[in-house]
Amino acid sequence: MAGTKSSSLDRPEVEATLVRIERLQFDRAYRDTHSLFYIEGVRNFVQVIDRRFQISAIMFSEKLLIAPLARKMVRSARRSGIPTISVTPEQFRRVCKTERASGVGAIVRQRWFKLDDISPQADLCWVVLENVRSPGNLGTLIRTSEAVGGAGFIFVGGRADPFDADAVRASMGGLFAQKFVRTDFRALSRWMCHHGCHGVGASPDGAADFHSFNYPRSTVLFLGEERQGLTKQQRDFCQHLVRIPMLGAADSLNLGVAGSLLMYEVYRSQTSQFCNG
């Protein structure tokens, strides 16, 4: 990088870094064991820096990275002691999953919160998920939650992974502004009772249309898996079930679409209550 000197890593070390990135992209067990994930792209890189995520290593290509702000951030990160790895465009493209290689990526520590350390009173809503078949759908939900001012996601069990490469990409940077919690149903029950939360679930047999329901403060929104919908345990947490009207021949909506509609209704309902109050 002009005016600076990159870390002098030999080819075996660069290869080891590329293999590490590939494992973070495709190996869930490896991500979980090391509590790391990989991001690429100028927007994601800037967000990681601005949101003060812990960075394990930065990889960049001198020829591909043309964004001045990102180049400045790479130099600043290197001066602060974060390992920076200079690679060729071909090496960078080897692990690049975007249509156009930006020239910058980073290995980043996952950020999780404890259930007892979050409070729903000051937040728009929390979304509870047990399982999501498509990481892209999860990324879409994360992106929407950030857009409407949602607090984050509570994952029951270990099946859903917000740090999957496809989820990170689909979140379009929204991931870095959201809080993530992993817990079980017993702890979730105690937390909801303690804070007086209102569980609202999305289901075709819901008693109210989603756009006519007044979503209270401390709403906890339960979304089911794409094919099976809400599980019995999830339904037991819901004081209210709402439905999204289906007028055409389709019998269901994509989870990312359905969840996004509901989150915007929570936003609209609570904004209206605030203005009327």
Whether the per-residue pLDDT at 21 is higher than 90: the answer is yes
Alpha-helix residue ranges (DSSP H) falling in 95-212: 135-148, 165-170, 185-195
Two tokens at 244? 């999204």
Each residue of 173-229: pLDDT tens digit? 999 999 999 999 999 999 999 999 999 999 989 999 999 898 988 899 999 998 889
Phi and psi dihedrals of 43, rounded to 5? -60, -50
pLDDT greater than 60 at residue 10: no
pLDDT confidence of residue 73: 98
At 147, is the pLDDT very low, low, confident or very high (cuts 50, 70, 90)? very high
Average predicted confidence (pLDDT) for the chain: 91
> Is the predicted pLDDT of residue 11 greater than 90, yes or no?
no
Domains (range + CATH), the chain: 11-109 (3.30.1330.30), 115-276 (3.40.1280.10)
Burial environment of residue 118 by CB neighbours within 10 A (0 to 12, 13 to 18, 19 or more)? middle
* More confident: 108 or 119: 108
Rounded CA gap, 111 and 102, in Å?
A: 24
DSSP notation for 205-229:
T-SEETTTS-PPTTEEEEE-BTTTB
| Angle formed at CA 252 by CA 124 and CA 141, multiple of 5 degrees | 30
pLDDT the model gives residue 159: 95
The residue among 89, 109, 87, 97 whose CA lies nearest residue 136 is 97
CB 31 within 8 A of CB 161: yes
Token pair, residue 23, equals 């494992």
List the beta bridge partners of residue 219: 125, 198
Closest alpha carbon to 101 in 90, 93, 91, 109? 93
Q: What is the model's pLDDT at position 227?
A: 85
pLDDT (0 to 100) of residue 250:
58
Length of the chain, in residues: 277
Note the pLDDT of residue 216: 86
pLDDT of res. 3: 43
Residue type, position 275, single letter? C
pLDDT of 66 > 90? The answer is yes
Contact at 8 Å (CB) between 53 and 108? Answer: yes
C-alpha 133/C-alpha 10 separation (Å) is 40
